[in-house]
Structure 1
């Protein structure tokens, strides 16, 4: 059974009249759109409503599905404990999704719920729906820090889990950029309105391939909270023609709110977007490997050999003298699906040559970066490598001596030290560069610290 309909909705608590106290009238178009979709849901009479909310229990590498049979929640954190909702969960569908996720090697399940209270990402849409219809059970899912592709795969799994005897709708709860206005609560960045325009266009066209491919740096800079939910929804609609309708978009408070609906119609083999995305990605990776230099090739061979043979790669005999006769610090960076997957390096030489430095640090980047689990053999074809060979760092006296496109930075305070490479996507100013390096080292902004800069030769 295909999903009956899917929606994207925002979740500003200010939309509730008691909380907004008149301010909600500034987003009247969103209110009207909410009433319109609530009436549609009443007419559809679903047995189950699935809601993904970024304010549910969220993990970096795991999709949490709320367990138990019942749940409740209120707007107590916004000062209104009497505005509350009670729901029953569809435990049968929850169990089915969890089982299929395990079979599909998707990290999703019901373990590790930190708070069983319904969050406002769920409460806001239910506030409107319950005015018209309440004879349903709920499934609540938290997005994760995993890639857009993994969110889409979870959506595909949800589609497979649907029972032919149940009528189900999907609600992707999430706001767009939180940085649309200088006088807004989160300030303004130029990426904010760019992101919102992209998303509204994507939703209007139901162009989920473009949704999957959206630049992760743009999403991060825009400070959005709906992208993960939207990708799960796209996966739920995988393989079907879709009639789309954007009911409203507005952002008077500096946060983007979009309400859109999607009605699946007939199957369409041309709308399996994840396979299209992966084919495009693999073609790009083949092209990259055809043009990689010996530094990158050595890094790739080193990690692949270690993962497959459980021991370091013996230094190849056909390397250039540049690799075997010179010493330098080296950083090896791994990316997967456009996201960092590991990065380890040395600021100065620790081995007898650059080649050995690359071999050692490539293995460490894939298996010893504490921010990530170890790279698996299954992931190796998807890894993109870059190798930075460092020039010796030099002390500087002012942040004005930095240029994030040319220089990397080392921030040091006592025994704490943080490093950031140059010319990274999303790092546009020296202030951003120093802040990221400082935070990596656990150095407080008010601590006394010194700065060093360095240049690199990047191979990628």
Structure 2
């Protein structure tokens, strides 16, 4: 018998709580009914421990956060409900076993408590990503302890291995366990939703749920990056961890409900666990290696040069010389260039020059790639083991020209604001920057210029080159 008795995907819209929704919750009655069904099922299973993976606790960039005190509680005051609270006892023995396994397997995870969180001016408390699943469990069953984990922006393989560590912990302790992946799906399903609409939102939700029902783990980890980034989801990393906990089992998902009336996808799923012999981990690792090989053999000379520059620097400690076999536009042309590094869809570093500072565009890219990884003050230096997870893009800039506000277009033109020696630059076609006013506001902030003061404006165009995905 498996120690993890059942797996669930559950959403966490605060308005599903009647004292928060005040009638609005009736619009997602199917979701409420499905969550109640999950609560009833868990009461029949009577687990000793409930593991909840959430996106909304205190999140660290470099490690999964495991809440590690005897007791934890939270409330809904930020949602104007001053009476409802959720509390739970923490399974510290489970935490101890899990943290030890993570240390052994080099999985970035750490126990956090009140003293640690005080250093970051944060409270030790339950977040709504955990409280809402617990609300439906507690209606039917309360005799359990919890393992409360906030995921981090780690590699998909590390998240999968963390799920495997949860499974091993339950087995080692012979702890009957239920696993809940808390996460909403796309937040961009409609024009009147909380975030900017994207047609990729509905496509993401359908693709993910279809693959979960079919148990196609490789396709879930291999979903189109553009679709995932533009979906605006918060549940995928919780699902990666859940799938890791299913390692060695056949993934069979059943959709209990799916709704998106507020522009956010709410999916409730249950998963049966049946043992099988083959390992998805090995297939996932091999798939990732193949993707990296594809990046290394990218035929685009701009991003290929940036990638080679990084690899050379991290292996030798110094900048590479300009290769002799480059196209003329790289070896002879002089212009500014920005190199951007993304990791799991999030910016990891970006450095560039809006006017040429070297003898060729190639040298501009070689230097800026390394500086994006090592000198961007917004981020810690990129580690060598992160190179595998980086996606690289190169923007080649045209010469800037003076412009008026009316001549700007944030999708087509980048902007430079100038006041004396102060300068701020913003590239075009950035996610979330969809108005001229917002584009200028960000550029002014970067320059240390008040938007109410007078300043000059210049605009420029870019050619953007990305690695194949």
TM over 0.5, shorter chain: yes
Change (3 A) 1:294 1:17: closer
Change (3 A) 1:197 1:430: farther
Change (3 A) 1:370 1:14: same
Deviations, residues 38-79 of structure 1 (Å, cap 9, x unaligned)? 111111111110111222111233321111111122333334
Aligned-pair distance for 1:132? Answer: 1.6
Change (3 A) 1:61 1:216: farther
CA distance in structure 1 between the aligned counterparts of 2:435 and 2:219, rounded to whole angstroms: 29
Residue matched to 2:350? 343
Change (3 A) 1:266 1:358: same
Matched, 1:136 2:144: yes
Change (3 A) 1:177 1:337: closer
Alignment of structure 1 residues 322-333 onto 2, 5 Å: 323-333=330-340
Residue 178 of structure 2: which of 163, 169, 175 is its match?
A: 169
CA distance in structure 2 between the aligned counterparts of 1:32 and 1:444, rounded to whole angstroms: 51
- How many equivalent residue pairs? 457
CA distance in structure 1 between the aligned counterparts of 2:439 and 2:389, rounded to whole angstroms: 28
1:404–1:430: 8 Å Cα contact kept in structure 2? Answer: no
Residue matched to 1:196? 205
Aligned-pair distance for 1:315? Answer: 4.5
Residue matched to 1:153? 161
2:426–2:442: 8 Å Cα contact kept in structure 1? Answer: yes
Residue matched to 1:375? 382
Residue matched to 1:265? 274
Alignment of structure 1 residues 426-441 onto 2, 5 Å: none
For normalisation by structure 2, the TM-score amounts to 0.84
**What SS is found at the alignment partner of 1:229?**
helix
Residue matched to 1:237? 246
Change (3 A) 1:178 1:301: closer
Deviations, residues 289-334 of structure 1 (Å, cap 9, x unaligned)? 3343555444333322322222333445566665555432232333
Change (3 A) 1:158 1:352: same
CA distance in structure 1 between the aligned counterparts of 2:193 and 2:431, rounded to whole angstroms: 26
Change (3 A) 1:302 1:39: same
**What SS is found at the alignment partner of 2:171?**
coil
CA distance in structure 1 between the aligned counterparts of 2:447 and 2:211, rounded to whole angstroms: 39
CA distance in structure 2 between the aligned counterparts of 1:188 and 1:293, rounded to whole angstroms: 31
Deviations, residues 95-127 of structure 1 (Å, cap 9, x unaligned)? 222222233333221244322122222222112
For normalisation by structure 1, the TM-score amounts to 0.86
Which has the larger displacement, 194-203 or 334-343? 334-343
**What SS is found at the alignment partner of 1:352?**
coil
CA distance in structure 1 between the aligned counterparts of 2:325 and 2:12, rounded to whole angstroms: 59
Matched, 1:41 2:42: yes
Unaligned 5+ residue runs, structure 1?
none
CA distance in structure 2 between the aligned counterparts of 1:424 and 1:281, rounded to whole angstroms: 27
Residue 307 of structure 1: which of 306, 314, 327 is its match?
A: 314
CA distance in structure 2 between the aligned counterparts of 1:363 and 1:187, rounded to whole angstroms: 33
Change (3 A) 1:134 1:314: same
CA distance in structure 1 between the aligned counterparts of 2:10 and 2:267, rounded to whole angstroms: 6
Residue matched to 2:262? 253
Change (3 A) 1:265 1:388: same
2:336–2:364: 8 Å Cα contact kept in structure 1? Answer: yes
**What SS is found at the alignment partner of 1:311?**
coil
Deviations, residues 256-310 of structure 1 (Å, cap 9, x unaligned)? 221111121112416x1x5434433433443443343555444333322322222
Matched, 1:397 2:398: no
**What SS is found at the alignment partner of 2:4?**
coil
Alignment of structure 1 residues 80-119 onto 2, 5 Å: 80-111=81-112, 112-113=116-117, 114-119=122-127
Aligned-pair distance for 1:161? Answer: 2.7
1:409–1:453: 8 Å Cα contact kept in structure 2? Answer: yes
CA distance in structure 1 between the aligned counterparts of 2:205 and 2:68, rounded to whole angstroms: 33
1:149–1:212: 8 Å Cα contact kept in structure 2? Answer: no
Q: What's the C-alpha RMSD, in Å, of the aligned pairs?
A: 3.3
Change (3 A) 1:147 1:82: same
Aligned-pair distance for 1:410? Answer: 3.0
Unaligned 5+ residue runs, structure 2?
none
Residue matched to 1:68? 69
